[in-house]
Amino acid sequence: MRYLKYRSKAAARTRSQEIWEAHLGRPVEPGATTRHFYDYVESKTSFGGSYLLVHDEGTHLTEAEKTNLEEEEWSHSDFQAWMEKYIPLNP
């Protein structure tokens, strides 16, 4: 698993839906069960951003996004620290 970090709370969700629509070649239908290509996690607070959870080699990502998959700041340890801060198990 690799991670892409977004500053906006809704950005990972929005990007995942964009990728799914590009993969389908059409917009997601209103009653569709599947609406996103990649899983994502959003901060429970109004700030903290979001993460896209990339389960493959990033086949459907832009070149810039693929490059960002290799960045240290988007490592598993950074994601874990973010989860502890913005998605606490015992709030």
| pLDDT of 91 above 60 | no
Task: Give me the count of residues in the chain.
Answer: 91
Quick one: pLDDT band at residue 90, thresholds 50, 70, 90? low
CB 49 within 8 A of CB 87: no
Number of domains making up the chain: 1
State the Cα–Cα distance between residues 32 and 23, nearest whole angstrom: 15
Those residues whose C-beta lies under 8 Å from the C-beta of residue 89, and which sit 6 or more positions away, are none
Domain of 45, in residue numbers: 2-86
Average pLDDT (13-25) is 96
Residue 48 maps to a domain:
yes
Model pLDDT, residue 34: 92
Q: What is the pLDDT of residues 21-74, one digit of tens each?
A: 999 999 999 899 999 999 999 999 888 999 999 999 899 999 999 988 877 667
CA-to-CA distance for 19 and 6, rounded, in angstroms? 15
Terminal CA-to-CA distance of the chain, rounded, Å? 26
